[in-house]
Amino acid sequence: MNKSLSILQRISAVLVLGVSSVTVWADYPVSITHKFGTITLTDAPTRVVSVGYSDQDDLLALGIKPVAIRDWYGDMPFATWPWAQDELGSATPVVLSRDALDFEAIAALQPDLIVGISSGMSADDYAKLSKIAPTLAQSADYIEYGMPWQERTLWIGQALDQTESATALVARIEQRIAQEKSAHPEFQDKQAAVAFYYSGQPGVYSSSDLRSRLLTQLGFQIPSVYDELAGASFYASFSEERLDLLNVDVLLWLSASDALNAADAIPMRQFMPFYQQGREVFVGDTLGGAFSFLSPLSIEFLLDNLIPELELAVDGDPTTVVPSSLSDHQ
């Protein structure tokens, strides 16, 4: 039996039955088949290096403090964002560069597991990392960076001998999302988009992107044209003349301070219905980080802050002010 599939089936049972945890296997050796092969662990890892851009959140959520964390962006202490600082505690992991992997530095840490599900590692990267320690890459079933957070958490939990904890954690977050969906029937079947503006071009994330997937879990729909434009990628960029592609029921601008002074820089925006009818939500730096990490630690922080904005943006009243739009992306 495929263990990762079995775990997901068990999660469905947890959600249906309304229980908080289930008993699943936790015996070594554990084998996990990923994009580049299969890793087998004979003992619970004690020195874990996180080379994924967001995998540290899953490790920390399961009580494992990595000996090294790869930086992504945001210049956060030890590459750990606010929603994960409590779990990091007083630990001082080595911070690895967001750029090319430093294989010598990783080897010097003497890891017994390297986690890189959200790393976008190449086959060559994997070959080098796997000579240092068993290396967990993403599933081959999804596009690059497209493995659902639930499966990412479960795979990491399985590798760490934390399958029961990971299953319960995913079930709890899934239950929170389901509660939000049930509490907001106005979200159902509304079209939504997560957009960005980078290097002089607007763009949008496809339905396979983790951010879009969360919106669909809440009841929203992602226009199929985004998938057509994105092809095998998780996003698509287009010219400003096609800004009409973003004319959806609620438009979320993902705003990073180094890339977006953003929607204000698009002259055609003020003529678009999504602007004139107050359907925009600006997801600023910290909230944008939570949206991009989309981890068990960041999702509840995200929902707490994002849901009130979505409620206002989809209420059908053009005079309703969405607070984040007052200061545009701040």
**What string of pLDDT tens digits covers the 330 residues of the chain?**
344 444 444 444 444 333 333 334 457 899 999 999 999 999 999 999 999 999 999 999 999 999 999 999 999 999 999 999 999 999 999 999 999 999 999 999 999 999 999 999 999 999 999 999 999 999 999 999 999 999 999 999 999 999 999 999 999 999 999 999 999 999 998 999 999 988 788 999 999 999 999 999 999 999 999 999 999 999 999 998 999 999 999 999 986 543 345 566 788 888 999 999 999 999 988 999 999 999 999 999 999 999 999 999 999 898 898 988 775 444
- 280-283 and 250-254 beta bridge pairing: parallel
Which residue, among 111, 149, 117, 112, has the nearest Cα to 51 in the 3D structure? 117
C-alpha 76/C-alpha 89 separation (Å) is 14
> What are the E-state strand segments in 91-141?
94-96, 113-115, 135-136
Domains in the chain and their CATH numbers? Answer: 3-176 (3.40.50.1980), 184-326 (3.40.50.1980)
Q: Of 50, 230, 56, 34, whose CA–CA distance to 151 is shortest? A: 34
